[in-house]
Structure 1
Amino acid sequence: MGNSQNVTIKGTKDGLLLRLDDTCSFSTLLKEIKETFTSHAHMYDAKHEVHIHVHSGNRFLTEEQIAQIQAVIDPNRNLIVDSVDSNVILKEEAERMIQENRMTLIHNVVRSGQLINISGDLLLIGDVNPGGMVMASGNVFILGKLKGIAHAGCLGDTSAVICASQMTPTQLRIGDLYRRSPDRDELPTEAECAYIDEKHDLIIDKLSVLKKIRPNLNRFAEGGILHG
């Protein structure tokens, strides 16, 4: 749609994609953004908002810089910067992502009154007795009997799952949903998992369904890690 040395504009079904060079100075970038949009001012209808997505490559843009870009684009023309993406993140964000995506291995029995609360995924080798509780911001995998309480996605991740070699919990929680153990005439003889389905119901099912509903977790099902 439009080009300069450091700025490229492309029309999309959602509005405009603004690609920014990440090697020039920010002041040069601002100047070229302004020149680019000024030269195409006749193409924009002031009566309708145009939404803009910005991609800045390997350049991290601060909130102040994003505001400066919005200012030179000129919001009076109803050109609105909706989102900004880049190939880089802050160190703090990277550390948070590593923390949330790591797995903690614990070899222990969680007894009544005990609580395990970790960031990321939890792999517990041992039982969770009645009155015991395990919590994780990610998934909960239990190589043993779950008789107490398990809470996966405790910070709000509704895609998290709970898996156990024997699932007879006092209570299951994923995100802000919870349910008690279903009434059973007999104890389960195979590993099971709990997850939130597309209807936002907390479901308990055979572990084999992970292959379909959470394919990225399939290694736990295929490897037989919960079938001991």
Structure 2
Amino acid sequence: MVTTNQLIVIKGTRHGLTLYLDDSCSFHDLYVELDRALSTDYMDTEDSMITVTVQLGNRYLHKEQKDKLRDLIRSKHKLVVQSMESNVVSKQDALQWKEDSEVQVRTKTVRSGQVLEVTGDLLLIGDVNPGGKVIATGNVFVLGNLRGIAHAGVEGNTAAVIVASYMDPVQLRIADFLSRAPDYESAGVYMECGYIDESKKIVIDRLQVLTKIRPELSGFGRSVLNG
């Protein structure tokens, strides 16, 4: 099903509807045309709720404008807005994304009782002693001995990883997942990584596996992994 208007293109798929909205006209004209486009008779034949994805193109909408479009779409028959997607972000969102994706380099030893916390990826050139703790919203790379606590993906990023030159931690955490040191005495391991596997458990494995299980690691990440 494809409905084409001057400013609106509606495409039906097995997952619902996708609305492609013109990104060059005024918001008022877009709103009026969308109201007209969603008033067609074919909507009345649906027996269940229809999910809608809105593609905004190169148009940026403020919260009030998004709410207005959502209210309009929801008022039509049995439509539910699933998402609104745009190629444009605000300066604030762009700066936040930049901060979240940056690598924070620290050269120090995190001693017992100390906590080192960063936004983005952490590259620690130094050791984490027992009783010390490092925290990052992204990945944690320790070019040294990890003998304390490391928490990666602290805001819920389950794809985050923890890498250490020497892995002998008291505790590893990724997002809300936890892995403690074994109750029995065991030796640490060199050039290892921790990640969440398909069974939703934190596992420690050879560093080389990251290129397969986390191919999205690129740029700086690849240089760290490949030495």
The two structures have a TM-score, normalised by structure 1, of 0.89
CA contact (8 A) 2:38 2:76 kept: no
Show the counterpart of 2:133.
133
Say if 1:44 and 1:128 are closer, same or farther in 2 by CA, change over 3 A. Answer: same
Shift in Å at residue 74 of structure 1?
5.8
Moved more, 46-55 or 100-109: 46-55
The alpha-carbon deviation at position 12 of structure 1 amounts to 1.3
Cα distance change on mapping 1:223 and 1:123 into 2, 3 Å: same
Kept after mapping to 1: 8 A contact 2:11/2:19:
yes
Gaps of 5+ in 1: none
Counterpart code for 1:131: G
The amino acid that maps onto 1:51 is T
The share of aligned pairs that are identical, in percent, is 45
Q: In terms of mean alpha carbon deviation, does 193-202 or 73-82 score higher?
A: 73-82
RMSD between aligned alpha carbons?
Answer: 1.9
Aligned mates of 2:119, 2:95 — CA distance in 1:
12
User: Are 2:144 and 1:144 aligned?
Assistant: yes
Seen in structure 2, the aligned counterparts of structure 1 residues 148 and 199 have a Cα distance that, compared at 3 Å, is same
Provide the residue aligned with 1:219 in structure 2.
Answer: 222
Deviation, 1:220, is: 4.4
Task: Tell me the equivalent position of 2:27.
Answer: 26
Cα offset, 1:91, TM superposition? 2.0
**Distance change (3 Å), C-alpha of 1:72 and 1:158:** closer
User: TM-score of the superposition, structure 2-length normalised?
Assistant: 0.90
Matching residue of 1:208? 208
Shift in alpha-carbon separation, 1:20–1:131, aligned structure 2, 3 A: same
On the 8 A contact 1:173/1:179 being kept in 2, the answer is yes
Preserved CA contact (<8 Å) 2:74 2:81: no
Quote how far apart the aligned CAs of 1:222 are: 4.9
User: How far off is 1:80 after superposition?
Assistant: 2.2
Q: CA deviation at 1:77?
A: 1.1
Equivalent residues of 1:7, 1:19 under 8 A apart? yes
Partners of 2:142 and 2:73 in 1: how far apart?
Answer: 53
Aligned residues: 222
SS for the counterpart of 2:89 is: coil
**Alpha-carbon distance in 1 for matches of 2:81, 2:96:** 26
